[in-house]
Amino acid sequence: MSSEAIVEEFQEYIQKISHLEEAIGLMTWDLRTGAPKKGAARRGEVIGTLSSEVFQLSTSSHLKEMISHLNQEETWISLDEITKGSVKECEKTIRKFENVPADEFKAFIILTAQAEQAWEDAKDKGDFASFQPYLEKIVDYQRNYADWKGFKGNRYNALLDDFEPGLTTDTIDEVFTQLKEAIVPLVEKISKQNAPETNYLFKKFPVEQQKRFSRKILESMQYDFQAGRLDTTVHPFAIGLNPGDVRVTTKYDEFDFRTAVFGTIHEGGHALYEQNIHPSLAGTPLAGGTSMGIHESQSLFWENFIGRRFGFWEKHFDLLKEFAPGQFQGISLDEFYKAVNVAGPSLIRIEADELTYCLHIILRYELEKALINGDIEVTDLPEKWNEKMEELLGIKPSHDGEGVLQDVHWAGGAFGYFPSYALGYVYAAQLQAAMQKDLPQFEELISSGNLAPIKEWLTENVHQHGKLKDPLQILHDAAGEKIDASHLIHYLTDKYEEVYNLREQ
């Protein structure tokens, strides 16, 4: 077979995998946004079957043979950048799964689909015991998976590599220690101050009005509704089926509009990444975020560095008042800005302020690492969770629904994912610093509502590349730096000294 024929066959092969993954994605979206509960078990089996097919295709001897031919020097030099990148991504997947028994993988996919439903019920009831058997099986699989895959140093590195290639626990421990040493004292310091008035934030704000306002915000962010939609779910997420179909979900609370507004902005940041991956990457394994940390940098950039900025509300506060008539009557822009930036210990990660957010992630990372290394067991989690909440944030959950059960990630088997949230915050601060150098009118763009140049900078430097660049390369090319928490620490310190008038003391 000629080299050209092998290239064509390879491209058709990876296109088939992408079609199956899109079908799985659509079913997963449906499962999380309103599929009937009685159909959940069957849906989990269908997702498991299709995922098993993707697993088989992604690790098949036929794919390995094609890759072997494409890696031959005379063929390799003739390949375009996208095909080369696709080959490398396929090789990563093969290395990831080549020692994983196919029946174990299929059982794990079915388990996690069922576990998500069990988690949702357990969370509502604050009943960890009912979820514990599922989680024990998931943790057992993750420990085995780390051993099947292989790792250097800490066992947790095997899981971390799936979400943040190039980073290890050594680097994360260093960065997270840097964050803890700066943030914990700052949280303690502001806790002693008089917080801005916030009572008016918690008046009834009808869900339908929140939906309309959330849609307006997504539009101002340059989210393309011709290539997406906004839906409601228990745990907000964004999902990219393909660059032309990237869906956002959010959660509404009639007595705390911030949940939906900032949640929508956050998930909208994820969606902008997926919508603006270069069209030439569609249908290849490169058509996704290069890492979960870089992905999270986009959502946190929009949620915090844009959505919680004074300039953003200079443009959008009057619009908000139109959708919530009377709620903010007599409230100045400065008062509102400080109110939505109030910081302090809280129980729920997705509702945490931007100052304490990283502490929630550090808690989860430390527990995950201990679980995977066998230093603690699943049965220990509620107690260990509460201990770390007191250690880092000085508060303790009253029940497991607002504690160890609050996140869906472990039910979905996403161990190794949580560090990406805090890493993404660090990346976002570094990208903002670089953006401000390239866009000296940065503040004026935000206060005028002209967010297009900001989105275009992100598309040029981050979005369009998909997985053609790894996370550290993205950071180096866009910001000229290695991972460094100092930008984030300076940002948080400066902001909260201003919000809490610490500079005047």
Q: Determine contact, residues 294/462, Cβ cutoff 8 Å.
A: yes
Q: Is 62 annotated as a binding residue?
A: no
Annotated active-site residue 456? The verdict is no
Q: For strand 245-250 and strand 238-242, is the pairing parallel, antiparallel, or unpaired? A: antiparallel
Q: Is 460 annotated as a binding residue?
A: no
Residue in 21, 116, 120, 267 annotated catalytic: 267
**Left (φ > 0), alpha (ψ -120 to 50) or beta: where does 415 sit?**
beta
The burial class, CB within 10 Å (0-12 / 13-18 / 19+), for 348 is middle
Q: Is 316 annotated as a binding residue?
A: no
Q: Is 470 helix (H, G, I), strand (E, B) or coil?
A: coil
> What is the spatial distance between Cα 279 and Cα 181, in angstroms, rounded to a whole number?
43
| Sign of the alpha-carbon torsion through 63, 69, 71, 77 | negative
Q: Is 354 helix (H, G, I), strand (E, B) or coil?
A: coil
Calculate helix-pair angle for 357-372, 419-438, nearest 10 degrees.
140
**Buried/exposed 235-252: b ≥16 CB within 10 Å, e otherwise:** bbbbbbbbbebbbbbbeb
> What is the spatial distance between Cα 273 and Cα 290, in angstroms, rounded to a whole number?
10
Instruction: Give the tokens for residue 157.
Output: 């590195």
> What is the spatial distance between Cα 50 and Cα 45, in angstroms, rounded to a whole number?
9
| N- to C-terminal Cα separation, the chain | 77
Q: Which residues are annotated as a binding site?
A: 266, 270, 296
Annotated binding site for Zn(2+): 266, 270, 296
As annotated, the active-site residues are 267
